[in-house]
Structure 1
Amino acid sequence: MSHPLHVVLPAGVDDPAAPSGGNRYDREVVDRLRAGAGSRSATSGVRESTAPGTWPRPAPADREQLSWVLAEIPDRATVLIDGLVACGVPEVLEPHAARLRLVILVHLPLSDETGLSAADAAELRALERRALHLAAGVIATSSQAAAHVAAMHDLTGVHVALPGVDRAEPATPSPTGHRLLCVASLTHRKGQDLLIRALAQLTDLSWECTLVGAGPIPAHPDTGNIRFTGALAGADLEAAYANADLFVLPSRAETYGMVITEALAHALPVVATEVGGVPEALGSAPSGVPGSLVPPEDPDHLAAVLRTWLTDPDLRDRWRARARARRETLTGWDDTARQLATILEDIEKGTA
């Protein structure tokens, strides 16, 4: 294609103090598109802009900045814009929708964030609907999310580009399986409070739980076997995975759950809530699921599954074997970038 791909990302996409799955996805695929993953970017290049602001509700100055960024992009160009930036400001997109080919990448529908009032959720849903109907294409990061977004906003043909994962060295299991790990921002949506309530039912057993993530630390008993590390990256995060036996993600909502495939890349079994695209991320091996899916908002059920893990060595062996097998089926970020490039090409050709 003769025109470069223009990409608009939140300004905090590279902030190590506030990592998120959406930011990680954006950076991984944009860097690979820039490097030529997929024929579309290889022939035309990538132009990246960042949008400062408290998205999806930015200050007036940040709205003006986004409008200026879009105004500087030449007519008929393709613009891939992160949904956190795009979906709350349809009035900013609207003057540019006819002359630009807007493609919105939805990581999490705005109204699916937990803790919103009914009125706030309804307002965000209406804004997102307007924004997505201005787009030439919409991309989601799981099949479940694509179906959900399409049904919620009466869209057809929402595309899917699944997150990739970097293959890692398998963790070395301990004999007792007592090392539990949760990696997620400390927010209501991620459900660390539910995990803490489940662990409170296991005081008769030996275990330790490390919670990695940025945010306010939730109330928890001062027992010494629950540890909060804050956000980790690089070698420190790798060490957390390497020194774990079981990965636990008790989220109330997830579009996909990239940390699940990151855990599986270390051959760690996973216990996670059955929400959103989590079953797609967890997947299965020929011998079965590499862990367990539990209902959301149910610390008692979660506690029962964790108790079985801690007390049943045969189950631990089965889950570990399945996690090793699932690890072999994981795809990398290059595959995600190629999927995304193909989707963008099809949108540009009008065949999507």
Structure 2
Amino acid sequence: MDKKVIFFEVEGGTDKGPDGYRPDTMPMVDALKKRGQEAEVIFFDVTKKQQIFDYVKEHAIAYVSRINPGNLQHEEEYFAMLRELCQTGIIGMPHPDAMISYGSKDVLSKLTATNLVPDDTFAYYTIEAFKAQFPASLALTERVLKQNRGSTGEGIWRVKLAEPLADGATKVPLDAKIKCTEAKDNHVEYWQLGDFMTFCEQYITGTNGMLIDMRFLPRITEGEIRLLMLRHHPVHVVHKKPADTEDAFSATLFSGAQYRYDTPEDWAELVQNFLAQLPQVTSLLGNYDLPLIWTADFMLDTNEAGEDCYILGEMNCSCVGFTSELSLAHQVAEEILAYIHESTKVTS
């Protein structure tokens, strides 16, 4: 095979090893080379965008994006270059619009037609929509607000009433006292609803600003279940149990959550239901090919029949790492080769 698989990285950032690469990048490059597929890493630099584009267009059959958005200052230019590469026939792993579609928090509001997301899940793209709906949502049940930007639980708030509502009230008054817990570190703040909503306007304004409003699932205390996927194959499961304190609902390591690594077979019911929904998920999210490496996070809930069910909390595909499981690089390499084979068979 004379055409290369190009891995895109960016210089700097906290996700790099001593050699300057992400620790999971070179194992993938080496695993491909062992299989006779040439591969190399290119660091994206906006000042060399045209040179990089020309080189990849001429020498590559596919790219694999391994850039953490938090380390990328010129995301729009990077995505524009990836789009253009895909248009020239380079196989995108993933396509930039799939990255946006699967990785954005509003994926939840787009999937309410599936059984993965409750239908009382809302996305607010304007302050007006937030003001109109959220007091009514909160009147029904405890809520979780999630900002689109940020990571490690920042700007994800569990919101509950500090005092019961008056009988028959369908909206929470703006002067009502509320208890807010942030997922970043499970710290608690008390606010009046109107003041808190004004504070949350920062999450809606600006580029890609928006808020997701979904019901709080009390069984989060039993743990969040993260499914690691290679395209449509579940590879392993991380069970993240929040710290055992009164207000804890965050599943981040920083907040004290305990992690356990399971096999997909340990979660057969969840995996089977999710795989059965995947064609509909793909269709609702723009019909792009599934990302190469991605995750889906679930929480336990109880359905109307009193049975366990699993609710999707978020998906991530921009740059999912597997540094704690570097042996996965061989499976990833096989998946890349299968993807190339399928794609070239379709076009030939």
Mark yes or no: TM-score above 0.5.
no
TM-score normalized with structure 2 length: 0.35
More strand by share: 2
More helix by share: 1
TM-score normalized with structure 1 length: 0.35
